[in-house]
Amino acid sequence: MKERFYIKGGTPLKGEVSIGGAKNSVLKLMAAAILAKGETIIHNVPDLTDVEIMLSVIAQLGAKTDYDKNSKTLVIDATNLSSITAKYELVSKMRASFVVLGALVSRCKEAIVALPGGCAIGERRVDFHIKGLEALGAKIKIENGYVHAKVPKLKGAEIYLDIPSVGATENLMLASVLAEGSTTIQNAAQEPEIVDLANFLNSMGADILGAGTSEIVINGVTPDRLHGIEYTTIPDRIEAGTFMSAIIATRGKALIKNVYPAHLTFFTNKLLKMGAGIKLVEPNVLEVSCKNRLESINFVTQPYPGFPTDLQSMAMTLLTTSDGVGIITESLYENRFMQVPELRRMGADIHQDRNHAIIKGVKKLTGATLAASDLRAGASLVVAALMADGSSTIENLHHIDRGYENFENKIRLLGGKIERRCEEEDSAILSEGTHNESYL
């Protein structure tokens, strides 16, 4: 059943909000849990559709799972795996599930995993994953939409990634944990989620050095070294950046709790340069505020620790009403400006030339009927609607639900006027000739 957000803009967000566990980390921790026999407990697991999909993927492999949504605690027991196949109907829904390839090859010496899907933000090929696995000794066949990897014994190797791919780095880390000898991944991704995965694996008994730098060394261990653990996921830096943007966009002032400020240094510096107020009030608490119109600046997306592509759409939304002209260069994905037509519907002045967007700040955005095209673009439209004059509706909420837990509830806690309704509720409201005055 179709659901929509109904948002009335113009209310400054105030109060406090707590950030949940990192989606882009916990999905990989779930895959890593299948490496070890025994019970693994993961805390701070957000209730997201992507988490549900990954639960289905690992359950299909034979792992037992128990997820308590109230406590955000997930128990995985992968003692007895019964399958080496991750099927298309699940993997095609979420790209991150492709990471089970490395874990399965590592533990079972064979894996059959469907080629991945996910948001349509551009081509994200799996060449680096395949070449790395081949360097470790795996024989790879790709046919009928599946990657079939098989190896009698994985052996450590020197692997160089042409680009610092997060997914390839994670898959190769998982594949190398039980390989014979040492593996070195050069030009590795340096994201905080990579560090979280390495910390998780080391807690299980793996031997990984250098995570968070461009060179990661994985010294292979024997299967009996790995064991179940209890672990807490890091906070979601992209969710934190989204709420920072929403507070600033609405000229509000609020506390953001359960955040690792070091993971957001580049984004925070950009916001400060634009004129936002950001203070560290406790080690894991930021006070975010904005009183005046922001100044336009330029952004270039880069691999971590550069400006994150996942926050590019937020930056664009802020630039739409900033003073002057700002340019965004998207250097990672070719289709990541899909929010542009929707922002134009709200009155934004944006000229797009391939991977460059030139944004001339206007005085205000106005409410409109909008549709989310992907996860981060969808979240940026929520921010735009919150800052706009008038009311907006946003469709295709399934994209947003992939990465934001209780999104509208958290916004309402900050005083934002937003509600979620399905088509049936719309029809009932229209037939009664009434509506909720507090939102529309």
**Any idea which residues carry the catalytic annotation?**
119
Question: What's the CA gap between 124 and 335, in Å, rounded?
Answer: 11
Report whether 152 contacts 109 (CB < 8 A): yes
Distance of CA 221 to the CA centre of its chain: 30
- Alpha carbon distances (Å) from 247 to 255, 256, 353, 380, 389: 9, 10, 29, 12, 16
Q: Nearest-5° angle of CA 102, CA 373, CA 239? A: 65
Q: Are 33 and 58 in contact (CB under 8 A)?
A: yes
Backbone dihedral angles phi then psi of residue 204, each to the nearest 5 degrees: -75, -15
Burial of 258 (0-12, 13-18, 19+ CB in 10 A): middle
Question: DSSP letter string over 179-232?
Answer: SBSEEEEET----HHHHHHHHHHHHHT-EEE-BTBSEEEEE---GGG----EEE
Crossing angle, helix 192-204 and helix 23-32, to 10 degrees? 30
Question: Rounded to 5 degrees, what angle do the CA atoms 225, 230, 234 make?
Answer: 115
Neighbours of 71 (CB within 10 A): 10
Joined tokens for residue 47: 């209730």
What is the spatial distance between Cα 293 and Cα 417, in angstroms, rounded to a whole number? 22
Whether residue 305 is preceded by a cis peptide bond, meaning omega within 30 degrees of 0, is yes
Would you call 379 helix, strand, or coil by DSSP?
A: helix
Instruction: Round to whole Å and give the CA distance between 209 and 202.
Output: 9
Q: Which helix (H) or strand (E) holds 57?
A: helix 49-60
Going by C-beta distance under 8 Å and a sequence separation of 6 or more, which residues neighbour residue 376?
Answer: 119, 121, 238, 310, 311, 312, 313, 314, 336, 403
